[in-house]
């Protein structure tokens, strides 16, 4: 069976396909039927637009003693934009689950999933083989690939979904041949299969045009004995990222921290970038070193895998998130500003023991009703972190003579 991730006639560098050698072809199944989709959505007009800065407290993981929730049932759409039918857009989801998928697998016909575990490891079985993905690692499951997720306990994380494009490494330009995420560090699974009949029925869940459908079959879909090709799932450990930074003065833009990008049709503009802020040295002289205050033509969603984010040491917690919409001001909180305008500018390690990340998009994203109301995790006091900023301007100040 061939699995195509691009049109047959795409230029060879962009042509994506793999051949899967199956015990039974995947066409052997009962018809798809509509299924409840819970809080998974691609409807972006559930609530009125809101340009305010938003921050969420850590999303609640359901207690296994109260209800059993697997990866698919635990998907909740937080925000997004665009359209699955025209295959142009983005969605940001969180997952909170406590049990493994049993005789169930998931298939996304709408786009690619970039999965960022925050708590709990994921053992992901795909048609190409198995991947163990732990916090501080990511994985990408591309459109059309069937997978099932096993967990060992309470689990939480983030999902970036893009419609109609695939993630790829950003161009390096004048950086040269080396730097950022290196191709050799991306790992694909080795072939693994099971020749297993399921007399009680195996459920294939298909996400199609934003809705969920289920189909029954009497065998495991993970019956691929071997495969070859360049359209595969893969994972990457964030500690392998080669950080580029300013070593003199001023800031480089956060695009230097881009791990993967999903390009739009406009040159240099992404549907979505996946950006990280790993441990690194900060040595810039005559510079306010934390992330600068910003109004951006892009939307910025941030999450925290572990530690404390340097621009907001309090309030922004692992397992939570923040959204700064297009042209909405954002930046370091008052405590961060006061500390970093009075500290001595010496070489220092920043973000030690921390991993924050950003999903940045050229789309103007709408927040879902679940994100604004139902989840009850929206931090309505967020804007207060800037209220005590004060002016330090002195028109009589002159630089000291060297």
Residue from 39, 251, 338, 352 carrying the catalytic annotation = 251
* Residue 126 vs residues 99, 106, 190, 194, 308: alpha-carbon distances, Å: 18, 10, 10, 11, 33
Nearest to 55 by CA among 384, 398, 380: 380
Residue from 300, 308, 310, 360 carrying the catalytic annotation = 300
Residue from 137, 294, 310, 314 carrying the catalytic annotation = 294
Residue from 39, 93, 166, 330 carrying the catalytic annotation = 330
Cα gap 110→163, rounded to integer Å: 6
* Residue 253 vs residues 37, 185, 278, 330: alpha-carbon distances, Å: 39, 24, 15, 15
DSSP character for 97? E
Q: What are phi and psi of 298, to 5 degrees?
A: -115, 160
Torsion of CA 31, 128, 108, 106, to 10 degrees: 60
User: Among this protein's residues, is 228 annotated catalytic?
Assistant: no
Burial 235-245 (b: 16+ CB within 10 A, else e): bbebeebeeee
Cα gap 173→278, rounded to integer Å: 22
DSSP character for 66? T
User: Among this protein's residues, is 76 annotated catalytic?
Assistant: no
Nearest to 157 by CA among 41, 277, 59: 59
User: Among this protein's residues, is 197 annotated catalytic?
Assistant: no
Residue from 39, 166, 308, 324 carrying the catalytic annotation = 324
User: Among this protein's residues, is 161 annotated catalytic?
Assistant: no
Positions annotated as catalytic residues are 251, 294, 300, 324, 330
């Amino acid at each position: 069976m061939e699995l195509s991730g691009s049109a047959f006639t795409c230029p060879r560098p962009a042509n994506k396909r793999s051949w899967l050698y199956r015990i039974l072809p995947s066409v052997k199944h009962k018809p798809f039927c509509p299924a409840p989709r819970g809080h998974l959505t691609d409807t972006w007009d559930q609530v009125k637009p809101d340009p305010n800065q938003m921050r969420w407290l850590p999303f609640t993981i359901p207690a296994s003693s109260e209800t059993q929730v697997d990866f698919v049932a635990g998907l909740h759409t937080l925000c997004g934009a665009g359209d699955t039918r025209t295959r142009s857009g983005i969605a940001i989801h969180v997952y909170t689950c406590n049990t493994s998928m049993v005789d169930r697998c998931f298939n996304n016909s709408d786009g690619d999933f970039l999965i960022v575990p925050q708590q709990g490891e994921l053992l992901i079985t795909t048609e190409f083989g198995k991947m163990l993905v732990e916090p501080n690692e990511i994985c990408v499951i591309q459109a059309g690939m069937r997978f099932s997720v096993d967990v060992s306990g309470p689990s939480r994380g983030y999902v970036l979904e893009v419609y109609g494009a695939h993630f790829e490494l950003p161009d390096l330009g004048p950086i040269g041949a080396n730097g950022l995420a290196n191709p050799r560090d991306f790992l694909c699974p080795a072939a693994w299969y099971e020749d297993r009949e399921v007399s009680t029925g195996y459920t294939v869940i298909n996400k199609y045009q934003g809705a969920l459908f289920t189909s029954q079959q009497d065998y495991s879909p993970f019956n691929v004995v071997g495969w070859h090709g360049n359209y595969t799932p893969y994972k990457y450990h964030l500690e392998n990222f080669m950080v580029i930074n300013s070593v003199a003065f001023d800031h480089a833009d956060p695009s230097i921290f881009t791990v993967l990008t999903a390009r739009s049709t406009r040159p240099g503009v992404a549907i979505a970038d996946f950006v990280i802020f790993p441990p690194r040295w900060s040595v810039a002289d005559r510079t306010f070193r934390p992330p600068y205050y910003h109004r951006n033509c892009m939307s910025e969603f941030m999450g925290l895998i572990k530690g404390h984010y340097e621009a907001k040491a309090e309030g922004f917690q692992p397992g939570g998130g923040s959204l700064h919409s297009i042209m909405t001001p954002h930046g370091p909180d008052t405590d961060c500003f006061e500390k970093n305008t009075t500290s001595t500018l010496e070489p220092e390690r920043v973000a030690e023991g921390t991993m924050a990340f950003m999903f940045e998009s050229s789309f103007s994203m709408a927040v879902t009703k679940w994100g604004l109301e139902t989840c009850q995790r929206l931090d309505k006091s967020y804007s207060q972190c800037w209220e005590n900023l004060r002016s330090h301007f002195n028109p009589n100040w002159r630089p000291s003579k060297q």
